[in-house]
Amino acid sequence: MATQEQSANGTKADADADALVLSNDPFHPANHICTLCAHFYNLGWVTGTGGGTSIRRGDKIYLAPSGVQKELIKPTDIFVLPSECLNLQIADPAKRVSHHDMPYLRRPKNLTPSACTPLFMTSFRKRDANCCIHTHSEWAVLATLLCGSAKVFEIEEIEQIKGIPKGPGKDGNLGYFDRLRVPIIENTAKEEDLTQYLEQCMEEFPDTFAVLVRRHGIYVWGKDVAQAKTICESLDWLFKLAVEMKKLGLPWTKQ
Ligand SMILES: CSC[C@@H](O)[C@@H](O)C(=O)COP(=O)(O)O
Ligand SMILES: [Zn+2]
């Protein structure tokens, strides 16, 4: 597994790039992504290199590498992009600049940026999110399977629904009697090919903070890490419950 030892014998440019990810602050995005991924691994959300998370802070976007054990990521493995690159990440796949070709402020040697990068960026650009979490949680995947070919997972009258905000720009969270709807898109052969479908889905469901990917997992975003993480936790809890309800023959909605 490739690791990064940048600027051991490096230049001033290497040292400047390292300064973007070296901090004693545990909530610096480069540190925070590492601790979040280790935590998510223990939840079964980012197992076997799948899944991941990205944080935007100010004018910078912080990203994990691709295809590595996400629970072992170090701050020096983190990629940094200027937020202005969100303008390059446009809907039309023919015109979109590949995440491999973006002008990274920090690009660790021997590593490539997460294949989820364009999807994370879509949540930042379209929803003004500052954190996006992608999990391969088995509960999320099972929920998509139990939905058959339906385009939405729906559940109501479960207390944990109150952990989900009503929508971007709307005050407060869903209530106990509100129906939670989480849209589902179909999986694609390559992660980045999901981007246009995620984007369309966000337009179709302007209030959603999450999109399920059938047979794959879920993308969840929020205005900050706490919001993205707690929505992800609430949804995962609900998906697990839904799987158990289905086994017991209990309906998810009152019809
Ligand atoms: C188990 S491989 C999974 C990947 O193809 C993808 O779905 C994923 O979530 C992680 O992509 P990555 O590029 O490693 O950040
Ligand atoms: Zn994935």
32: CATH: 3.40.225.10
Is 134 a pocket residue for ligand 1 (Cβ < 6 Å)? Answer: yes
Q: Which residue has the tokens 């170090």?
A: 74
Does any domain span residue 104? yes
Query: Which helix (H) or strand (E) segment is 54 a member of?
Result: strand 52-57
Give me the phi and psi of 155, to 5 degrees please.
-150, 150
User: What's the pLDDT score for residue 94?
Assistant: 81
**Rounded to the nearest whole angstrom, what is the distance from the C-alpha of residue 142 to the centroid of ligand 1?**
18
Residue 170, token pair as written in the block: 């709307």
Does any domain span residue 3? no
Q: Could you give the number of structural domains in the chain? A: 1
First to last CA, the chain: 50
Is 135 a pocket residue for ligand 1 (Cβ < 6 Å)? Answer: no
**Rounded to the nearest whole angstrom, what is the distance from the C-alpha of residue 190 to the centroid of ligand 2?**
9
Does any domain span residue 253? no
Q: Nearest 5 degrees, angle CA 44-CA 50-CA 54? A: 95
User: What's the pLDDT score for residue 8?
Assistant: 56
From first to last of its 255 residues, what are the pLDDT tens digits of the chain? 444 444 456 788 889 899 999 999 999 999 999 999 999 999 999 999 999 999 999 999 999 999 999 999 999 999 999 999 998 877 677 888 999 999 999 999 999 999 999 999 999 999 999 999 999 999 999 999 999 999 999 999 999 999 999 999 999 999 999 999 999 999 999 999 999 999 999 999 999 999 999 999 999 999 999 999 999 999 999 999 999 999 999 999 997
Does any domain span residue 254? no
**Rounded to the nearest whole angstrom, what is the distance from the C-alpha of residue 73 to the centroid of ligand 1?**
14
Annotated binding site for substrate: 116
d(CA 36, CA 44): 12
Does any domain span residue 4? no
User: What's the pLDDT score for residue 3?
Assistant: 45
Domain encompassing residue 80 = 12-247
Model pTM? 0.95
The reply to whether 186 belongs to the active site is no
ipTM: 0.98
Q: Residues 84, 154, 159, 192: which is the catalytic one?
A: 159
Does any domain span residue 6? no
